[in-house]
Each structure stands twice: as structure tokens, then as C-alpha cells.
Amino acid sequence: MNDEFLPKSELEPEKNPKRVSNGRLAIWIIVGGVGLYMVGSGVWGIITGG
């Protein structure tokens, strides 16, 4: 199949405008992990009385 005659817009899949970018998703995952760690360590400190 020879795709050189098709315009670039037809060769690439359409981007979903509602999808979050990969960079923003990575930042939210990291921030969520740090927040989960802080909440978990706080609960552990309350339980152990420490």
C-alpha cells in the first residue's frame, strides 16, 4: 500500500480533545502517590502512637 498520496491529516488518527496529555497525567500520578504516602504515614503514626 502506497500512502504517499494521502494528506497527512488522513494518515494520522484523530486526537481526542477531551484526553489529558501524558505529561499532566504523569504529574497527577506522582502527586497522588506522594499524597497517598503522606496520608498513610500519618495514619500509621496515629495507630502506633508515634
Q: Which domain does 50 fall in, by range?
A: 22-50
Assess if residue 7 is contained within a domain. no
Query: What is the total count of domains within the chain?
Result: 1
Q: Cα dihedral sign for 4, 10, 11, 12? A: positive
Assess if residue 27 is contained within a domain. yes
Assess if residue 6 is contained within a domain. no
What band does 2 get if pLDDT is binned at 50, 70 and 90? low
* One-character DSSP codes across 1-50: ---TTS-HHHHSPPPPTTSPPHHHHHHHHHHHHHHHHHHHHHHHHHHHT-
Assess if residue 39 is contained within a domain. yes
Assess if residue 17 is contained within a domain. no
Give the pLDDT confidence of 5-27 residue by residue, as tens digits: 777 777 777 778 788 899 999 99
Give the CA distances from residue 34 to residues 12, 18, 20, 27, 39, in Å, rounded to whole numbers and listed in that order.
36, 26, 20, 11, 9
